[in-house]
């Protein structure tokens, strides 16, 4: 099999956002280790650093975004623009890559880049899709037409706590929506993603069967295409550097000095933003909890601030080393560190999965789209965390931290999280579900 794969190339096209670049490059690493040659097609916006991947070819295409478009805070408007502006440059790029001597087996595109479907079809190039989020949240996106028809998506305020019978255990407030200048843009983006995923030659998941079994069963009924849950990707190799921001390694030396299971790790991913009032409530909630904490404050996290200038004078001195603040952490290493006792997260899918892989219970603070679904699954299906709800308030935060870090319910969450971690390890072993799924994926691509 190795000899056969040596001569085949796969083209990968990640969506240029951190939470999508990481899993796509990890998947590329996995398939490279199975003998495929790898070309990463990427936009100039948020381009990965090729020097970290000398074994891959990189092809840059122009995304045509103006400086204002590239720096917009409206993620949905950005994703929609990418789907329009990248079409012609992507077409030219494919024409060039496919005119070479070397056979190209297929394209693996991010699900959100739905325009790639039509372009690949015009070259009769098989297109597989990587959906970087979870299966359960994807089913919620796929249900948008029904949810719209039943009025669950607009004017939610009066029915936030209502259960959505079509998608148990989700409530109206857990549906994967986001504030955007024009909700129609979100609906069209989701419609394009779902339709072109269904029309693809295969669907790859950074998830594993034991975690999302019922959702996968529903998916297989509704999406009659080959489906490959081969995750969690990052456990196949030690963390490789597709990070757009440098990792601050002082996190690890600081964690080395802390007691086992004592630290709260706090990070809200690469896009979410909070107000300065929320920022201060979090700061005081953490300080009042008396637990050590490692807090990632990404520049841009606090709306209207450059970084941490709105922290009260003397805050850090008062903590006397009990809090460590960085701009960006080596998150996978941090979560695997024995000192970490809980993860206060926005529940991006990568963060959620990375926490599950290390058996770390979560304090959930979802901000938008799939994060809300992920948080609901963490708290009500896997029962490995609790959700901060109804606004951020320091006294409530202190109580909730105690529930996870000290109380019996927190210890039970930890036990269940450790149990899931064991399942992760099993699914990756020879004969495990993800391992078998990867074998099928390799054979399938070879047959393309």
Please give the sequence-ordered ranges of beta strands (E in DSSP) within 335-378, or none if there are none. 340-345, 362-364
Indicate the angle between helix axes 370-380 and 135-142, nearest 10 degrees.
130
Site string for ligand UDX, 27-66 (x = CB under 6 A): ----------------------------------------
Judge whether 204 and 130 are in contact, CB under 8 Å: yes
Alpha-carbon gap, residue 197 to 167, rounded angstroms: 20
Q: Which one, 351 or 434, has the nearer CB to ligand UDX?
A: 351
Cα 137 to chain centroid distance, Å, stands at 11
Select the residue interacting with ligand UDX from 110, 174, 209, 354 (CB under 6 A). Answer: 354
CB of 265 to ligand UDX, least distance (A): 9
CB of 296 to ligand UDX, least distance (A): 4
The secondary element (H helix, E strand) that includes residue 385 is: strand 385-387
Q: Which one, 8 or 247, has the nearer CB to ligand UDX?
A: 247
Please, which of residues 254-273 interact with ligand UDX by CB under 6 A?
Answer: 267, 269-272
* Contacts for 364-368: CB closer than 8 Å, 24+ residues apart: 364/388, 365/268, 365/392, 367/268, 367/272, 367/273, 368/176, 368/177, 368/178, 368/179, 368/272
Alpha-carbon gap, residue 433 to 412, rounded angstroms: 26
Count Cβ atoms below 10 Å from residue 390 Cβ, excluding itself. Answer: 8
CB of 330 to ligand UDX, least distance (A): 6
Residue 231 interacting with ligand UDX (CB under 6 A): no
Alpha-carbon gap, residue 443 to 128, rounded angstroms: 14
CB of 78 to ligand UDX, least distance (A): 12
Indicate the angle between helix axes 394-405 and 276-289, nearest 10 degrees.
50
CB of 98 to ligand UDX, least distance (A): 30
Q: Which one, 291 or 298, has the nearer CB to ligand UDX?
A: 298
Judge whether 299 and 273 are in contact, CB under 8 Å: no
Q: Which one, 37 or 374, has the nearer CB to ligand UDX?
A: 374
Residue 219 interacting with ligand UDX (CB under 6 A): no
Alpha-carbon gap, residue 54 to 138, rounded angstroms: 33
Q: Which one, 19 or 226, has the nearer CB to ligand UDX?
A: 19
Q: What is the dihedral of CA 410, 414, 415, 419, to 10 degrees?
A: 150
Residue 19 interacting with ligand UDX (CB under 6 A): yes
Select the residue interacting with ligand UDX from 201, 351, 355, 437 (CB under 6 A). Answer: 351
Site string for ligand UDX, 269-308 (x = CB under 6 A): xxxx-----------------------x------------
Q: Which one, 37 or 345, has the nearer CB to ligand UDX?
A: 345
Q: Which one, 342 or 445, has the nearer CB to ligand UDX?
A: 342
Using the rule CB under 6 A, give the single segment among 106-114, 254-262, 369-377, 390-398 that binds ligand UDX: 369-377
Q: Which one, 369 or 437, has the nearer CB to ligand UDX?
A: 369
Residue 16 interacting with ligand UDX (CB under 6 A): no
Number of residues that bind ligand UDX (CB under 6 A): 26
Alpha-carbon gap, residue 234 to 332, rounded angstroms: 8
Residue 329 interacting with ligand UDX (CB under 6 A): yes
All residues at 6 or more sequence positions from 59 whose CB lies less than 8 Å from its CB, including other chains: 39, 40, 41, 42, 93, 97
Query: What residues form DSSP beta bridges with 130?
Result: 110, 204
Select the residue interacting with ligand UDX from 133, 192, 292, 385 (CB under 6 A). Answer: 133
CB of 438 to ligand UDX, least distance (A): 20
CB of 30 to ligand UDX, least distance (A): 15
Alpha-carbon gap, residue 233 to 29, rounded angstroms: 9
Residue 235 interacting with ligand UDX (CB under 6 A): no
Judge whether 162 and 241 are in contact, CB under 8 Å: no
Counting every residue, how long is the chain? 448
Using the rule CB under 6 A, give the single segment among 17-25, 59-67, 150-158, 413-421 that binds ligand UDX: 17-25
Residue 369 interacting with ligand UDX (CB under 6 A): yes
Residue 349 interacting with ligand UDX (CB under 6 A): yes
Q: Which one, 197 or 369, has the nearer CB to ligand UDX?
A: 369
Judge whether 295 and 372 are in contact, CB under 8 Å: no
Q: What is the dihedral of CA 258, 259, 264, 269, to 10 degrees?
A: 50
Residue 370 interacting with ligand UDX (CB under 6 A): yes
Q: At residue 113, what are phi and psi to the nearest 5 degrees?
A: -80, 70
CB of 273 to ligand UDX, least distance (A): 11
Where do contacts with ligand UDX occur on this chain (CB under 6 A)?
17-20, 22, 132-133, 243, 267, 269-272, 296, 328-329, 331-332, 348-351, 354, 369-371
């Amino acid at each position: 099999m190795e000899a056969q794969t040596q001569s085949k190339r796969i083209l990968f096209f990640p969506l240029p956002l951190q939470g999508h670049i990481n899993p796509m490059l990890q998947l590329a690493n996995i398939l490279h280790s199975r003998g495929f040659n790898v070309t990463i097609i990427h936009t100039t916006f948020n381009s990965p650093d090729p020097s970290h991947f000398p074994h891959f070819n990189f092809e840059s295409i122009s995304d045509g975004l103006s400086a204002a478009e590239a720096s917009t805070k409206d993620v949905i408007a950005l994703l929609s623009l990418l789907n329009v502006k990248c079409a012609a440059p992507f077409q030219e790029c494919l024409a060039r890559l496919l005119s070479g001597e070397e056979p190209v087996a297929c394209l693996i595109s991010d699900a959100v880049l739905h325009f790639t479907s039509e372009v690949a079809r015009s070259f009769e190039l098989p297109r597989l899709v990587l959906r970087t989020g979870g299966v359960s949240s994807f089913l919620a996106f796929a249900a948008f037409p029904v949810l719209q028809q039943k009025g669950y998506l607009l004017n939610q305020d009066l029915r936030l706590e209502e259960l959505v019978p079509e998608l148990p255990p989700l409530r109206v407030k857990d549906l994967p929506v986001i504030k955007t200048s024009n909700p129609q843009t979100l609906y069209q983006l989701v419609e394009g993603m779902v339709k072109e995923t269904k029309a693809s030659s295969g669907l790859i998941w950074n998830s594993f069967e034991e975690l999302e079994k019922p959702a996968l069963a529903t998916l297989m009924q509704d999406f009659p295409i080959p489906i490959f849950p081969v995750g969690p990707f990052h456990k196949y190799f030690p963390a490789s550097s597709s990070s757009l921001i440098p990792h601050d390694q002082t996190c690890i030396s600081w964690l080395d000095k802390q007691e086992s299971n004592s630290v709260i790790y706090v990070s809200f991913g690469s896009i979410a933003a909070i107000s300065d009032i929320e920022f201060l409530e979090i700061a005081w909630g953490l300080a009042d909890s008396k637990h050590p904490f490692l807090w990632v404050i990404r520049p841009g996290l606090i709306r209207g601030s450059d970084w941490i200038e709105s922290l009260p004078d003397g805050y850090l001195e008062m903590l006397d080393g009990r809090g460590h603040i960085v701009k960006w952490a080596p998150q996978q290493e941090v979560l695997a560190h024995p000192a970490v006792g809980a993860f206060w997260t926005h529940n991006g899918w990568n963060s959620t999965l990375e926490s599950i892989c290390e058996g770390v219970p979560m304090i959930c603070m979802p901000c938008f789209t799939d994060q809300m679904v992920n948080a609901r699954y963490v708290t009500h299906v896997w029962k490995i965390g609790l959700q901060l709800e109804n606004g951020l308030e320091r006294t409530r935060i202190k109580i909730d931290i105690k529930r996870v870090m000290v109380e019996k319910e927190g210890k039970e969450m930890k036990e269940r999280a450790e149990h899931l971690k064991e399942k992760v390890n099993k699914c990756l072993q020879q004969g495990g579900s993800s391992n078998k799924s990867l074998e099928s994926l390799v054979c399938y691509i070879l047959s393309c």
